[in-house]
Amino acid sequence: MNGVVPSVNRLTFRKPERLVSRKIIEQLVEKGKSFQIAPFRLIWMVHNLQVANPVQVAFTAPKRNFKSAVERNKIKRLMKEVYRKNKAGLYSFVKDKHVQVALLIVYTGKVIPKYSEVEVKLTLTLQRFVEDFQKHSV
């Protein structure tokens, strides 16, 4: 395990925070709990990750809705930026619970969103995750 935990105050999104394991992503899709706040779907599960970070996250935009890789990448960049700025509360909550969580955030909309829309909806999605996590961990 990598012993370096990035400072949440610096608002970074570094490699150990990214969920890249195909095996964990497949488990998330098969067994993870999920909910949807349009235009986002969040799939999550408690998982023993191989890094010191309390949360690892992956972002996706389906090729079915956005044929152009440029469009998909733009949407993922917007989601990463909003997550980077709003992850502090999520990190502190998960650290207090002494668990590690894997998240998959899927953009389900049909049009490229504006930054302000992504910011509002993704922040709501992360807040809802905290509420759902409290319900399921009781």
Task: Answer whether residue 55 shows pLDDT above 90.
Answer: yes
Tracing tokens 């949407």 back to the chain, one arrives at 75
pTM of the model: 0.90
Residue 104: strand, helix, or coil? strand
**Residue with tokens 């502190």, as numbered in its chain:** 92
Q: Is the pLDDT of residue 107 over 90?
A: yes
Average pLDDT of the residues in 118-131: 96
The pLDDT value recorded for residue 56 is: 96
Query: What DSSP designation does 110 have?
Result: S
Q: How far apart are CA 122 and CA 87, in angstroms?
A: 11
Please report the pLDDT score of residue 138 as a whole number.
57
Residue 87 reports pLDDT greater than 70: yes
Averaged pLDDT for residues 17-30:
96
- Structural domains present in the chain: 12-132 (3.30.230.10)
